[in-house]
Amino acid sequence: MDIMPRDFGLEHNEWRKGQKEAIILATEQCNKEGGFLFLELPTGVGKTAIPTALSKNNNVLALVQTLSLLDQYEKEYKFDIVKGRQEYPCVLKEKVVSWRLNYNKEPTAADCHFSDPRDCMQSSNCPYIIAKDKAARSTRAACTYKYASLSDVMRDRKGVLVLDEAHLAGHELLSLAEFFITSEQIKEFNLPDFPFYYYGAGGSGDMIDMKTRARVVIWMNDCIKTIGNITVFDRMTEKGSKVARMLQYITCALDMVQDEKIDLFMKCGKIEQMNTAGLFGNVDYGSKKRMYISIKPLYVSRIAWRLFGKKDTTILMSATIGNPDPLAKELGISDYRFETFDHPIPKVKRPVFDLGCPKMTYKNISDAPGIQNAQATLIYNFIKGLPKKWRGIILTSSYQKVETLKSLLKERLNGRIIIGSANGKSVTSRVDEFIDSDMEGAIAIDTIQGWGTGLDFRGDKARFVIVAGIQQPNPRDKFDMARISRAGGRKYAQWTTYNSV
């Protein structure tokens, strides 16, 4: 008798092409060998079915990059999910009332003032604790890469780890590990002044040597001493909550800086114009010149254990792996198995066209700025040849290029561009805005980061995508160049570029 999806606990009746084979293969890996399995599964195979099916007989934790994908795991595949604390409201009545009154704000679990939240008399009703405990006990749990890298419970779980959109794991780990602090924050939290205002030749940053590392450690310890003695009463206030988060942030960074096995790159500089989303929410630093220090690891392999932890089997799924070697090396995986599956839709039904644009490199644009207009014209001519009601997406590699393309296409596309700049909104909300709109012929112009993978534009939501630019290492960025000059760095950079589409 044929094996059916329901035999694996899946709620659909028919297999998609390649799905059954992929599940059988992943099951064998878990049952026999354990270790690492790279699975290249094209869009349309239904990748989420794999961790779902494995959870029938294994303790599975799936990692995703975005909250919208996490919600999809919960809604469509009944995963027990846990998000970051800031996504859950605090339900301690006195605190909620006090915050509304004093700060006109709703406290979240990120503002929790208890060192051990179980000491709270509302802990049994606390939405964050409920979600966290449920996910920790569940055999079908999911969270973000960020949550997993910060949570001891998720790291120490045994069983099967499934990395969704695994090609993004390296980038995700690098950005999660970065320590970034501004002079505004130094002032706001009354921290000791920066130990450096300038680092590396021409101020472009450099690898941290032992002497510098020691100075950074002393400075971080001084910061911790300065803000470390906040009481539980301080923590109940908005300011105290922020201090507690900063304390945790510096403490985590100190762990990284003290670990001499982790090679670190440091840069100090002036913030010209920067939007950053992180621990402290979206911060618009505007155009006034302020200082920052950024410290980040050079090798992902030294921090990848934060995800893999004690898992018996790790399955890395992605629609675009190609040669898995560069990614395996980047993540410090020496021994692995790789399997790839054919695309369920024949090539003829998913055509790829070369519009014949020149390469939009920094050098080419500087030498001949007119090529941006030439590119816009080619894009416009292509769109003009499609049915007018088709919706689509144009992706490029920076916000500046998004703005340029928008201004060059605005009049020609006559009101069809509904997303065309960040406008202080997150990528997720821009994607949602595009999906929620029913406008015929709507076009989004945005950066490839965030829109490039893992999104589901069902039906007619997006009939075409134009890749107007892909991210390449910046030859003027010393960190990018330091990463390229590592053994295997250039191969990984090329691999990343291939996978960003």
Q: How far is the CB of 119 from ligand SF4 (least distance, A)?
A: 8
Q: How far is the CB of 198 from ligand SF4 (least distance, A)?
A: 41
Q: How far apart are CA 383 and CA 100, in angstroms?
A: 50
Strand partners, 181: 293
CB 376 within 8 A of CB 382: no
Backbone region of residue 317 per phi and psi (left: phi > 0; alpha: psi in -120 to 50; beta: other values): beta
Complex with ligand SF4: residue 238 or 403, whichever CB lies closer: 238
Q: How far is the CB of 279 from ligand SF4 (least distance, A)?
A: 17
Q: How far apart are CA 329 and CA 101, in angstroms?
A: 53
Q: How far is the CB of 133 from ligand SF4 (least distance, A)?
A: 12
Complex with ligand SF4: residue 110 or 300, whichever CB lies closer: 110
Q: In the numeric block, which tokens belong to residue 285?
A: 């630093």
Complex with ligand SF4: residue 112 or 409, whichever CB lies closer: 112
Q: Using alpha carbons, list the distances in angstroms from residue 443 to 355, 387, 458.
A: 18, 13, 15
CB 425 within 8 A of CB 499: no
- Of 325, 315, 345, the closest CA to residue 42 belongs to 345
Q: How far is the CB of 150 from ligand SF4 (least distance, A)?
A: 17
State the Rg of the chain over Cα: 24
Complex with ligand SF4: residue 63 or 112, whichever CB lies closer: 112
Complex with ligand SF4: residue 57 or 86, whichever CB lies closer: 86
Complex with ligand SF4: residue 92 or 173, whichever CB lies closer: 92
Complex with ligand SF4: residue 39 or 109, whichever CB lies closer: 109
DSSP 228: T
End-to-end CA distance of the chain: 40
Q: How far apart are CA 234 and CA 46, in angstroms?
A: 48
Q: In the numeric block, which tokens belong to residue 453?
A: 């993978």
Q: How far is the CB of 235 from ligand SF4 (least distance, A)?
A: 10
Q: How far is the CB of 142 from ligand SF4 (least distance, A)?
A: 22
Complex with ligand SF4: residue 124 or 429, whichever CB lies closer: 124
Complex with ligand SF4: residue 117 or 488, whichever CB lies closer: 117
CB-based burial label for 257 (10 Å; 0-12, 13-18, 19+)? buried
Complex with ligand SF4: residue 128 or 292, whichever CB lies closer: 128
Residue recorded with tokens 């405990």:
133
Site residues, ligand SF4 (CB under 6 A): 90-92, 95, 109, 112, 114, 117, 120, 122-123, 126, 128-129
Residue recorded with tokens 């995963």:
79
Q: How far is the CB of 124 from ligand SF4 (least distance, A)?
A: 10
Residue recorded with tokens 């007018």:
388
- Of 276, 282, 272, 292, the closest CA to residue 184 belongs to 292
Q: How far is the CB of 109 from ligand SF4 (least distance, A)?
A: 4
Q: In the numeric block, which tokens belong to residue 300?
A: 């992902």
From the centroid of its chain, how far is CA 25? 28
CB 199 within 8 A of CB 294: no
Q: How far is the CB of 249 from ligand SF4 (least distance, A)?
A: 19
Q: How far apart are CA 161 and CA 35, in angstroms?
A: 10
